[in-house]
Amino acid sequence: MSGFLNRGVNVRVTPKRAGIAAVAAVAAGLAFGWSGLFNISASTKHWPVTDWFLHWVMINSVETWSIGVEVPDNLDDRALIARGAGHYATGCASCHGAPGRPRSPLTDVMSPPPPDLDAKVPTWETAHLFTIVKHGVKFSGMPAWVSFDEREDEVWSVVAFLKKLPGMTPDEYKALAMGAETDGAVGGLVALAHGPQGRGPREDTLADCARCHGRDGLGRDGDAFPVIAGQSEDYLFDALSAYAVGKRHSGIMQPAAARLPYSELAALAEHYANQPAARPKDAPTPDPALVATGETIAREGVRATGTPACQSCHGPSAAARNPAYPSLAGQHASYLETQLHLWEKEHDSRGGGPFREIMRKVAFRLTPEEIRAVAAYYASLPPGK
């Protein structure tokens, strides 16, 4: 009896035993997954330990991948904030809610549920918010930004809005996200199964576009949105169609255009083409010296780099312009600068219509100073030139 008791149990770990244990653990996991006993339905919440682990991993990941993000110094700019608010109303508010606007009841049965941003935003640094908005979060309903590699400028506009969101009043939110339109305007992004009812675009679709661009196409909040009034119908339709199929990149415009049938895009193009071109309200006066430099480039090009004159395609010129080319006269200088910088990037940041390769070759040859000068010149011209 004493010999039996003294023998004990041999618990020495050997490579063979470790290998067998590992194979057994993997086999057990696969058997459990094959059985279907694990309930993946969203009607049941995560186990507390699972919820904690996923959030812990997410926080650490965001902090790590935010290292090196350079925060711009213009996040207090009203135009940038308004641009982000315009997208937030249709792209984010249904899940996260907004001041005076309840969240969709679907969020109550999501696992994990989207956070209350009024309380959550202050817990993140600015670079963290950028990383989350740009890349999204796996194992949640948070998607990456459409065209996240091409349009970081749009991501920053949403971050600028989020920084102002905590404590924002319903009236402040309405002014930023809706402009002069009513709350019902956001219904225009619902997919339509038929064309416009009668002449012109559907009222709900036009109202949704007008939240940012205005019904007159002149935009709002300074240079928050480009002036589209008086552009040719061909150019506007080409632009909207390019957004719809992802040939022109924008996390703001691509989802909006992709949800509409081509008949509705054509109706919107016709509506805004028929609006009178006018100078944006409160447009700043460009530096005369910068305008003079820009005019030289626009009329003569840059011989040293072989850059052609801008006016041959965009005017001002007595010759008839290709209707597929946009008119630049009277446009916001900041918008023109952004577009030219997007054109010059080698990985096709902007995209565009059927003539985009022509513009890309031109933009490659312009320096940042030349881009700023050309933008100032065209912004100084009377609209419609």
Please give the Cα distance from 346 to 94 (Å, whole number). Answer: 36
Beta carbons of 63 and 128 less than 8 angstroms apart: yes
pLDDT of 318-358, one tens digit each? Answer: 666 788 899 999 999 999 999 998 887 767 778 887 788 88
The residues, any chain, with a CB within 8 Å of residue 373's CB and separated by 6 or more, are 290, 291, 293, 294, 297
**pLDDT digits 0-9 by tens, 66-101:** 999 999 999 999 999 999 999 999 899 989 999 998
| Least confident residue range of 107-111, 159-163, 293-297 | 107-111
Question: Cis peptide leading into 383, omega within 30 of 0?
Answer: no
Q: Bridge partners of 101?
A: 98
Spans of all domains in the chain: 2-35, 48-178, 183-273, 288-380
State which fold the 183-273 domain adopts: Cytochrome Bc1 Complex; Chain D, domain 2 (1.10.760)
Q: Give the pLDDT score at 198.
A: 58
CATH number of 48-178: 1.10.760
**pLDDT tens digits, residue range 361-374?**
787 788 999 999 99
Nearest to 151 by CA among 174, 176, 133: 133
pLDDT tens for each residue of 26-40: 999 999 899 988 888
Instruction: Indicate the pLDDT class of residue 148, thresholds 50, 70 and 90.
Output: confident
CA dist., res. 286 & res. 293, Å (int): 12
Binned at pLDDT 50, 70 and 90, residue 139 comes out as confident
- The secondary structure of residue 342, as a DSSP letter, is H
pLDDT at 280: 76
Q: Which of 35-49, 50-64, 130-144 is least confident?
A: 35-49
Give the distance between the most distant pair of CA atoms in the chain.
114
- Per the DSSP assignment, residues forming a β-bridge with 302 are 307
Q: Is the CB of residue 226 less than 8 Å from the CB of residue 375? A: no
Please determine, for residue 4, whether its predicted confidence score (pLDDT) is greater than 50.
Answer: no
> What are the structure tokens assigned to 68, written together?
């090196």
CA nearest to 93, candidates 118, 75, 76: 118
List, in sequence order, every residue forming a beta bridge with 98; answer none if it has no partner.
101
Q: How confident is the prediction for the chain on average, in pLDDT?
A: 88
The pLDDT confidence band at residue 193, using thresholds 50, 70 and 90, is: very low
Residue 314 · residue 325 · CB < 8 Å? yes
Mean pLDDT, range 128-138, rounded to an integer = 96
List beta partners, residue 248: 351
Tally DSSP H helices, then E strands, for the chain. Answer: 18, 0
Neighbouring C-alpha atoms within 13 Å toward the C-beta of 113? 16
CB 243 within 8 A of CB 250: yes
- φ/ψ (deg, to 5) at 262: -60, -30
Confidence grade of residue 383 (pLDDT, cut at 50, 70, 90):
confident
- At 217-273, the pLDDT tens digits run 999 999 999 999 999 999 999 999 999 999 999 999 999 999 899 999 999 999 999
Burial class (CB in 10 A: 0-12, 13-18, 19+), 289: exposed
- Averaged pLDDT for residues 298-323: 85
DSSP 219: -
Separation between Cα atoms, residue 162 and residue 368, nearest integer Å: 30
Matching CATH topology for 48-178 and 183-273? yes
What digits encode the pLDDT tens for the residues 265-302?
A: 999 999 999 999 888 777 788 899 999 999 999 999 99
Separation between Cα atoms, residue 137 and residue 62, nearest integer Å: 9
Q: Are 88 and 98 in contact (CB under 8 A)?
A: yes
HSE (side-chain half, CA atoms, 13 Å) at 232? 14
Which tops the pLDDT comparison, 11 or 24?
A: 24
Q: Does domain 288-380 have CATH number 3.20.20.70?
A: no
